[in-house]
Amino acid sequence: MSVADFTRSIEAAADQPTALRSRITDVLTRIADASRAAGRRPEDVTLVAVSKTVDRRAVDAALALGIRHFGENRVQDASRKLGDPLPAGACLHLIGQLQSNKAKPAAALFDIIESVDRPSVIDALEKAAERNGQPLPVLLQVNVAREPQKAGCDPDQAASLMARLAQSPSLTPQGLMTMAPLVADPEDARPIFAGLRTIQHKLQRQFPAADLHTLSMGMTNDFHIAIEEGATSVRIGRAIFGP
């Protein structure tokens, strides 16, 4: 390693926590501003730091700065990368598409599965959670924009899948998740977020025994719009951990 490389790596290491601290502060400020502007309380919006592109050291640095919720999109990558379990009080969210054959490790590793979108996954998760002897919180992912190739159930299937979740002995449905289409102007994502909230209200009326309080929607580009439309959980990667 050249002296120049060494100096650069020291500087990068010394800079890392400061950069992370200022990015987290910035995101929390923007969450609070968007909440207040919408007449909502900032504490009613949970920040899920999406750590899929970073290693355990960055997760630990974020934990040290007070972040408690982390999102990962692949079961095996997360398990390998994170190694030791996260400390008590931390909560790991699966936000990427789940294959039925990964349901068992997913149920063991994650505290909540946000990407439930079809009967085969529900069946597999239900069995895995039953074996664990612990109810598993889940969100139903809805493809509100009906984008082909995109994960999430069709809005027309949401009620039948929720009926299945609501009577599950081992899964606890807590609400809905969606991913808005990639658009240049985040304003264009607003109807998608409003659409998920409409589906939530309908399902809550239809399944009064379930507590469908969570609306997981909004990412780096569009979380302020999602909060205005009722997001209770925002999943943010790049604005926290860098591009």
Ligand X SMILES: *Cc1c(COP(=O)(O)O)cnc(C)c1O
- Binding region for ligand X (CB under 6 A): 50, 52, 73, 95-96, 179, 219-221, 235-239
Ramachandran bin of 230, using left for φ above 0, alpha for ψ from -120 to 50, beta for the remaining angles: left
Please measure the distance between the N-terminal and C-terminal CA atoms of the chain and give it in whole angstroms: 26
**Residue 145 vs 163, nearer CB to ligand X:** 145
Q: How far is the CB of 110 from ligand X (least distance, A)?
A: 13
Q: How far is the CB of 222 from ligand X (least distance, A)?
A: 9
**Residue 2 vs 144, nearer CB to ligand X:** 144
**Residue 113 vs 236, nearer CB to ligand X:** 236
**Residue 161 vs 180, nearer CB to ligand X:** 180
- For 132, list phi and psi in degrees, rounded to 5: -70, -15
* CB environment 175-210: b (16+ within 10 A), e (fewer): bbbbbbeeeeebeebbebbbbbbebbeebbeebeeb
Token pair for 148: 């082909």
Contact indicator for 103, 127 with CB cutoff of 8 Å: yes
Q: How far is the CB of 167 from ligand X (least distance, A)?
A: 27
The neighbour count for residue 48, using CB atoms within 10 Å, is 25
Which residues are within 8 A (CB) of 87 and not within 5 positions of it... i.e. 6 or more apart?
Answer: 63
**Residue 224 vs 235, nearer CB to ligand X:** 235
Length of the chain in terms of residues written: 243
**Residue 1 vs 143, nearer CB to ligand X:** 143
Distance CA 77, CA 74 (A): 5
Q: How far is the CB of 239 from ligand X (least distance, A)?
A: 6
Q: How far is the CB of 238 from ligand X (least distance, A)?
A: 4
Q: How far is the CB of 96 from ligand X (least distance, A)?
A: 6
